[in-house]
């Protein structure tokens, strides 16, 4: 169907795993990556884990000439290049908007106006576009789509989601793609922009586009020294340095954690599936896991059960309580997650045990406090 695929951000965590899978399936692969220092440290050449069987272009998605060069001769694009991290996005507003929103706009502009023969674009979106997940009101079973919990409630350490009409505690349920999108951070808004720009341009210009709403991804190559990456890597870094995982609220907030191998498997499935077009798909497990449970599972793997999570009971601006995915739409096409959380975390541990990790969590926490984005 396709011969050569461009992976933007292909030297990064998810992108590099996508590269490996594409190569294994016989595709020619070109990678465009700017080797972002926050992710890679100060390096001038691609990381050692990136396959040598690819063509590497160092550059930025904001550079039109570089994009044109990278797209030349490709017939599909996997667009993974983005700034990641909810907390940091709340003050690096311009940077996140520029890289994520305008970088995607630049990519689409080049494809459309240079009349490039791109047959498929696979766009990396995020579960963060939902804001809070879907809930049920216990008294009558009605579905509820709440926004953010008020600060006045959180100030009392009352962290659960209450119904606005009855004040009863709402029960979380799997979140489908049909749930209204309520972005609660600059990062979420930029991912929504990426998704919607792509789908709008896809419809207008007959460009085949599919958006992938990743839930909480973990696995090897996720930066252990970036305090704004996923919690599995952040907790692993803390534990490797002998520090207890730092958790906001009461630790009972829940997410849908998915192995990076499942993520790229789903992306390849969607790239190759002709029935997946001009839609967004959850890539998730459908399993809800609390943040505190994740911390304890990782501490056990490291043999550090003594490092009980440090639950600070303060809260971050824009944080949500519960969100786990409904995998039905993708399952109806023929793909399901196969990697159990316990097996995936073992795989992460086996890799992380051989890695250096700089624990920057305290510094990141202090920065958020200084900016008024963590409240007690």
The three-class DSSP label of residue 206 is: coil
Instruction: pLDDT band for 224, please (50, 70, 90 cuts).
Output: confident
Residue from 93, 92, 70 nearest 81 by CA: 70
pLDDT digits (tens, 9 = 90+) for 248-296: 999 999 999 999 999 999 999 999 999 999 999 999 999 999 999 999 9
Tokens of 101: 């929103």
User: How much is the pLDDT for 370?
Assistant: 87
DSSP string, 1-58: --SEEEEETTTSHHHHHHHHHHHHTT-EEEEEE---HHHH-S-SS--TTS-TTSEEEE
Active site residues: 187
pLDDT digits (tens, 9 = 90+) for 1-58: 789 999 999 999 999 999 999 999 999 999 999 998 888 888 889 999 999 999 999 9
Q: Is the pLDDT of residue 227 over 80?
A: no
Residue from 182, 27, 3, 8 nearest 99 by CA: 8
Instruction: pLDDT band for 229, please (50, 70, 90 cuts).
Output: confident
- Mean pLDDT (whole number) for 190-211: 97
Q: Are 344 and 218 in contact (CB under 8 A)?
A: yes
pLDDT digits (tens, 9 = 90+) for 59-81: 999 999 999 999 999 999 999 99
User: How much is the pLDDT for 354?
Assistant: 87
In the chain, the domains with their CATH numbers are 4-375 (3.40.50.720)
Q: How far is CA 131 from CA 20, 148, 323, in A?
A: 32, 8, 8
User: How much is the pLDDT for 140?
Assistant: 96
């Amino acid at each position: 169907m396709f011969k050569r695929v461009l992976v933007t951000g292909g030297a990064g965590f998810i992108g590099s795993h996508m590269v490996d899978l594409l190569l294994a399936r016989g595709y020619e692969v070109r990678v465009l990556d700017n080797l972002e220092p926050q992710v890679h440290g100060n390096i001038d050449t691609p990381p050692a884990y990136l396959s040598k069987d690819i063509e590497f272009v160092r550059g930025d998605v904001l550079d039109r000439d570089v994009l044109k060069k990278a797209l030349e001769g490709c017939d599909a694009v996997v667009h993974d290049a983005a700034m990641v991290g909810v907390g940091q996005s709340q003050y690096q507003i311009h940077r996140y908007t520029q890289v994520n929103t305008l970088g995607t706009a630049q990519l689409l502009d080049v494809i459309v106006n240079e009349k490039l023969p791109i047959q498929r674009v696979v766009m990396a979106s995020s579960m963060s576009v939902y804001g809070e997940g879907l809930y049920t009101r216990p008294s009558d079973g009605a579905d509820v789509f709440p926004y953010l919990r008020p600060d006045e409630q959180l100030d009392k350490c009352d962290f659960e989601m209450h119904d606005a009409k009855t004040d009863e505690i709402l029960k979380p349920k799997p979140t489908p793609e049909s749930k209204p999108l309520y972005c609660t951070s600059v990062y979420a808004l930029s991912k929504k922009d990426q998704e919607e720009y792509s789908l709008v341009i896809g419809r207008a210009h007959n460009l085949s586009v599919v958006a992938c709403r990743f839930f909480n991804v973990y696995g090897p190559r996720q930066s252990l020294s970036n305090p704004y990456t996923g919690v599995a890597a952040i907790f692993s870094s803390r534990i490797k340095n002998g520090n207890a995982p730092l958790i906001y609220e009461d630790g009972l907030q829940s997410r849908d954690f998915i192995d990076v191998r499942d993520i790229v498997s789903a992306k390849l499935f969607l790239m190759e599936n002709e029935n997946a077009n001009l839609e967004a798909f959850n890539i998730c497990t459908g399993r809800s896991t609390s943040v505190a449970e994740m911390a304890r599972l990782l501490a056990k793997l490291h043999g550090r059960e003594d490092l009980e999570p440090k639950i600070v009971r303060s809260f971050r601006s824009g944080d949500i309580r519960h969100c786990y995915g409904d995998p039905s739409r993708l399952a109806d096409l023929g793909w399901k997650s196969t990697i159990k959380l316990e097996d995936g975390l073992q795989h992460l541990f086996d890799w992380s045990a051989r890695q250096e990790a700089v624990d920057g969590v305290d510094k990141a926490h202090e920065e958020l406090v200084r900016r008024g984005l963590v409240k007690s």
